[in-house]
A and B are shown apart, each in its own frame.
Chain A
């Protein structure tokens, strides 16, 4: 069964600093992985997804993630944090049942300090 683990429920960075949000996955088959962002009282917006085409995936808003099979990781990074990046971030893996439902991590709340 697929699963994801997000290390760190809260991450704080200074504006302009590197953002690193961690996600490790468990999967018996090559996974499809996703990062979503959620702003307060809103739904989820897709940041990027890994579908085995390339290990370094670029997403929206300057975010990117690197798939590392040896480390079973799919960490999300952004070189320079902006105040508007403050939000909740979720890592998810698609399972391989008939409906390909998503299994979400517990989320990481990113706080950006001025």
Chain B
């Protein structure tokens, strides 16, 4: 099956610093990638939809300036948490949609997640 990687898998940073998380589709092209945030023992909350070559679409309540998303190529999307604070600590998961038919049957493949801890 298709593989999506995330880097880093874990990151610890100081409050006020910025952290970049990469999401890569390793063996397929993805025009659309999604970024989720998962709180402990909670479901996945969609943060934004990332489209290659265009601006990301953020879900209601997600700060665009706080969570910068760049989808520079068909295989790479990045999420930058700017001026991170302890409340940003969470598990961040990305997914990528195979180009496929462009319809609802195109499967999303999920990355292994990145654990962010802000001290």
Contact = CB atoms under 8 A, between A and B. Distances in A.
Contacts of A41: 91, 113, 115
A25 interface: no
Given A43-B93, A45-B110, A101 B46 contact: yes
A42 B112 contact: yes
Give the contact-size bracket for chain B: 20 to 34
Contact of B43 (A46, A94, A105): A105
B15 interface: no
A45 B41 CA distance: 17
Nearest to B91: A41
B97 A104 contact: no
B108 A102 contact: yes
Interface string A65-108: 00000000000000000000000001000101001111111110
Contacts of A101: 34, 46, 49
Q: Which of A101, A106, A109 has the most CB of B within 10 A?
A: A101
B18 interface: no
Interface of A: 32, 36, 41-46, 49, 51, 90, 94, 96, 99-107, 109
Given A99-B51, A102-B95, A102-B108, 4 more contacts: A32-B104, A101-B46, A104-B44, A106-B43
